[in-house]
């Protein structure tokens, strides 16, 4: 039996330009033959890079990966404001001003920490059941509310009279196109994102991604490379573990809360733990004063 179709694991796919995250999910599902495939965090068609893909029951853990810190490399082209805030859009404003390195360095601290950001109208946010970009393309008037995001780090990589390159570490819900728009405005000029590549989502890094072609070859020749498949136990490294015997596993598998001793200092803020039986992750559970209650069974 094809192990790619039956096992529960994560893949770190290098999403190419021009394809939606949903399209990548469909392609991986067809290639692997898995029953369920999902992704952890949408990546725009005009962006490339890290797209964590969950296969089979690993999809039950997507919510825990979506919230991980993300890191991007992007470039802002100076001098034009575009309606989509990226290279695909129409020019709506121009500026001859080009910021100096010192100008950029001076304003970057303004964007660190928890800040308010208004998403692009060409985002996938839903307004009354319709995606914002669909409304924008049909010239329907609407407003998007600002939302709180958190930016941990911003590094200026280079700057010249044409464009600037940056690396940014940020929370879920951060729109890099909106950041580029707001930064340009703060600098008294115009700019849009001309290059966008996600280089990190939690422990999924740009240095351990695999292409769709490599995945196809792995499946065709039944070759599994250790650095290409991410095991559930490893992906959920930030959760503490509780090992249980076969008798307790039988109860857990049937949804029963079990009594077990555990060092509460090892718990995360959600009191979630990995449940291990015979050195294999068999589920997730929540610790309370009533015991260990299983929340997800693999």
Per-residue pLDDT tens digits for 163-189: 999 999 999 999 999 999 999 999 999
The larger pLDDT score, comparing residue 37 to residue 1, is at 37
Q: Helix (H) and strand (E) counts for the chain?
A: 9, 18
The DSSP symbol for 66 reads: H
How much is the pLDDT for 264?
A: 66
Give the range among 130-134, 212-216, 272-276 with minimum mean pLDDT. Answer: 130-134
Mean pLDDT across the chain: 90
Predicted local confidence at residue 226, as pLDDT: 63
284-292, long-range: CB within 8 Å, 24+ apart, which pairs? 284/61, 284/236, 284/239, 285/242, 285/252, 287/262, 290/257, 291/257, 291/258, 291/259, 291/260, 292/242, 292/252, 292/257, 292/258, 292/259, 292/260, 292/262
**Over residues 33-52, mean pLDDT:** 93
Q: What is the pLDDT of residue 126?
A: 80
pLDDT at 283: 93
Return the higher-pLDDT residue of 60 and 266.
60
Taken in order of first residue, the domains within the chain and their CATH numbers are 3-68+203-234 (3.30.2350.10), 70-201 (3.30.2350.10), 240-297 (2.30.130.10)
pLDDT of residue 109 exceeding 80? yes
Which range has the worst mean pLDDT, 124-133, 168-177, 242-251?
Answer: 124-133
44 carries an active-site annotation: yes
Q: Which of 256, 196, 186, 254 is nearest to 50 (CA)?
A: 196
pLDDT tens per residue across span 249-277: 999 999 999 888 776 666 666 788 999 99
Reported as a single tens digit per residue, the pLDDT across 220-235 is 887 766 677 899 998 9
């Amino acid at each position: 039996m094809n192990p790619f179709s039956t096992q529960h694991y994560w893949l770190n796919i290098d999403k190419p330009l021009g394809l939606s995250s949903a399209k990548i999910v469909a392609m991986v599902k067809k290639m692997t033959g898995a029953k369920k495939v999902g992704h952890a965090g949408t990546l725009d068609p005009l962006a490339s890079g890290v797209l964590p893909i969950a296969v089979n029951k690993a999809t039950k853990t997507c919510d825990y990966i979506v919230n991980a810190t993300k890191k991007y490399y992007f470039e802002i082209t100076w001098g034009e404001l575009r309606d989509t805030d990226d290279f695909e859009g129409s020019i709506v404003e121009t500026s001859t001003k080009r910021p100096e390195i010192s100008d950029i360095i001076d304003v970057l601290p303004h964007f660190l920490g928890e800040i308010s950001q208004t998403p692009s109208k060409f985002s996938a946010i839903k307004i009354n059941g319709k995606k914002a970009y669909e409304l924008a393309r049909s010239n329907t008037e609407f407003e998007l509310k600002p939302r709180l995001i958190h930016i941990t780090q911003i590094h200026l990589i280079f700057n010249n009279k044409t464009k600037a390159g940056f690396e940014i570490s940020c929370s879920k819900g951060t729109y890099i196109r909106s950041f580029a728009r707001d930064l340009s405005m703060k600098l008294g000029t115009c700019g849009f994102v001309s290059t966008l590549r996600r280089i990190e989502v939690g422990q999924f890094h740009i240095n351990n991604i695999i292409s769709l072609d490599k995945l196809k070859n792995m499946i065709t020749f039944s070759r599994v490379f250790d650095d290409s498949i991410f095991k559930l136990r490893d992906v959920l490294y930030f959760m503490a573990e509780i090992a249980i015997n076969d008798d307790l596993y039988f109860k857990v598998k049937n949804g029963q809360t079990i009594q077990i001793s555990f060092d509460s200092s090892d718990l995360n803020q959600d009191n979630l733990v990995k449940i291990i039986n015979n050195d294999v992750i068999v589920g997730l559970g929540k610790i309370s004063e009533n015991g260990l209650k299983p929340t997800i069974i693999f």
